[in-house]
Amino acid sequence: DGELPGLYAACRVFSYTSPEPRHLHYSPLEALTVGAPVLYLRGSLLDRLAPGLPGGCADLAEMRAKAGALIAGDAALSADIRGAGPAILSHFHPDRARAAWAELLGGAS
């Protein structure tokens, strides 16, 4: 577990191929947290949380093309994708979770 953040931070690209619109694994969020450029499919939960970001891919062919560019060292694409990560991560901020639970429970603490 101690090595995982460093592995994510060192990778040139993290491809998350799940198309699920209502399910998300921890791994792409962990990778986003340490600044890895994360690619994912449009229509997936990552895309639904923050649509239109540069890490979104229409299909696996586009994902492969973007991954190839990132592996080859496309610094501009990497910076664009990394810069968009906070738009996704903001949905998982503890204050946002607390507010959602408070609303669901009618303000009970």
Residue pair 19/43 in contact by the 8 Å Cβ criterion: yes
Per-residue pLDDT tens over the stretch 77-101? 999 999 999 999 999 999 998 998 9
List b or e across 4-31, with b for residues whose CB sees 16 or more CB atoms inside 10 angstroms. eeeebeebebbbbeeeeeeebeeebbbb
- Indicate the Cα dihedral angle 85, 89, 91, 97, nearest 10°: -170
Rg of the chain in Å (alpha carbons)? 15
User: Is it the case that residue 109 has pLDDT exceeding 90?
Assistant: no
Please tell me the pTM assigned to this model: 0.89
pLDDT tens-digit readout, 7-55: 999 999 999 999 999 999 999 999 999 999 999 999 999 999 999 999 9
